[in-house]
Amino acid sequence: MWSSRIAFIAAATGSAVGLGNIWRFPYITSENGGGAFVLIYLACIALVGLPIMYAEIVIGRRGRMSPINSLRELSTTSNASRNWAFIGVIGIMAGFMILSFYSVVAGWTLHYGFHYFKEWIGVGAPITDPGATFGALLGNAGELTFWHGLFMLMTVGVVGFGVEKGLERAVSVLMPVLMVLLLVLLGYGMNTGHFQEAVGFLFKPDWSQVSGSMFVTALGQAFFTLSLGMCAIMTYGAYLPANVNIPRVGVAVAGADTFVALVAGLAIFPIIIANNIDPGSGGAGLIFTSLPLAFAEMPFGIFYGMLFFVLLSVAAWTSSISLMEPATAYLVESTNLSRKAAALIVAGLSWLLGLASVFSFNLWSEVKIIGRSPMDAIDYVATQIMLPVGGLLIALFAGWVLSSKITREELDEKMPNWAYQAWLWITRVVTPALILVVLGGILNIF
């Protein structure tokens, strides 16, 4: 069990807060016109994110086991097919696949953090051509493999020690560190002289840029940033004490996750604007190619560069812990393996699969799977198909299969009836419909 409500919120927020908030959210916002996208994204958090988060926590806490076994047990209790347990299989496999390439990208942040540290202490060369520097890193299979392996070891080192000694102890330190680093960078951004421009870019809606694809993108970002559909929140919910109010902790987690994403944008865009870089044209390379240019020009830029990439590494670390936990918990329950042995097996297999992502940029650069590089193919299948499908099935299971008695008891029997009925209706109808829109957009059905 988590020792307290705060411990669960820290762990679940750590799961939700990752590269998707600090790396992906700013560049997606920049590509979609700023303020209008942010408002649509916030609406999607409320209509998709929170209902599914509540559903995952309810299933996890009621089942008190790994996702597969919790779903199997609750299906039996509800006189439904035990095949609903396949939701857990989808989630665990998706998390395993995501961890494989997530560790590779997190390795990039470790590399850059170490580079800036060496430069800070005077033993490293400055980055004069960020594009060439990033290209050289991607082309070096050996170096990518090293950082990928180091990050995976960092993750398994936490998961192997269990809930209180491993997960809770790690996030109780890492989450405050992450927040402090983010606020330090925000403080610098506020003093660049371009903070108001960044605020306008993030929060002033330009409705002329709104399109159907923007809704799909916003809904997808809201879905993925909260770690939904991969059973991570369901697993963490299994460790939640019975007296903790699920709606309150769900709002706290979603609120903290959204806060980090918005603060990341407010910290990054002033630096970008101050260095005459168009915030609307950054793309995925915003962090690794555009920001190093800014760090090279700004006062104390080397130090802030080091802080920024340490921040990214910490965010990636807290998320990777939750990606490894569901598969580890299932192995511990289903075999005679110790937790440390189970975590090592999951880490080793995920590391091996991650080599496909490493080689995507060098040795296998010509290899295509479903028309994509190996890394992009794994990313596409796991995050753009398996997660939405998993989230859709979780919503249907919680809304239509679980009895109202179970969901009412877990959500809080003191909840006003109108609030419970609103959650039930959104979970049964609105959320599945919106997820189908996302899937339709991704698969080019609509």
Q: Answer for the pair 263, 190: CB distance below 8 angstroms, yes or no.
A: no
* Interatomic CA distance for residues 85 and 397, integer angstroms: 10
* 3-state secondary structure (DSSP) of residue 241: coil
Half-sphere exposure of 397 (CA within 13 A, CB side): 36
CA 163 from chain centre, in angstroms, equals: 20
- What CA dihedral angle connects 353, 357, 358 and 364, to 10 degrees? 110
What are the b/e assignments for 129-159, b being 16+ CB within 10 Å?
Answer: ebeebbeebbeeeeebbebbbbbbebbbebb
Half-sphere exposure of 368 (CA within 13 A, CB side): 4
Alpha helices (H) along 121-245: 130-139, 141-159, 169-190, 195-203, 212-225, 232-237
Report phi then psi at 358, rounded to 5. Answer: -60, -50
* Interatomic CA distance for residues 226 and 272, integer angstroms: 26
Q: Is 320 exposed, middle or buried (0-12, 13-18, 19+ CB in 10 A)?
A: buried
Q: Is the pTM for the entire model greater than 0.85?
A: yes
Write down the residue that tokens 């560790």 correspond to. Answer: 103
For helices 50-63 and 387-396, the axis angle rounded to 10 degrees is 70
pLDDT of res. 282: 53
DSSP 82: G
**Per-residue pLDDT in tens (0 to 9) along the chain, 446 residues:** 777 788 888 888 877 777 777 777 877 787 777 788 888 888 888 888 899 999 999 999 999 999 999 999 999 999 999 999 999 999 999 999 999 999 999 999 999 999 999 999 888 888 888 888 889 999 999 999 999 999 999 999 888 887 667 777 777 777 788 788 788 888 888 887 888 888 887 888 878 878 777 877 787 777 777 878 888 899 988 988 888 889 889 898 888 888 888 888 888 888 777 777 665 555 556 678 777 877 887 778 888 888 888 888 888 888 898 899 999 999 999 998 999 999 999 999 999 999 999 999 999 999 999 888 999 899 888 887 888 899 999 999 999 999 989 999 998 777 888 989 999 999 999 999 988 887 776 666 54
DSSP 285: G
pLDDT of res. 218: 81
Question: 5-442 architecture in CATH?
Answer: Up-down Bundle (1.20)
Q: Answer for the pair 32, 376: CB distance below 8 angstroms, yes or no.
A: no
pLDDT of res. 445: 52
Q: Is 422 exposed, middle or buried (0-12, 13-18, 19+ CB in 10 A)?
A: middle
* Interatomic CA distance for residues 318 and 78, integer angstroms: 34
pLDDT of res. 281: 55
* Interatomic CA distance for residues 320 and 151, integer angstroms: 9
Report phi then psi at 412, rounded to 5. Answer: 130, 110
What are the b/e assignments for 261-281, b being 16+ CB within 10 Å?
Answer: bbbbbbbbbbbbbbbebebbe
Question: How many residues are recorded in the chain?
Answer: 446
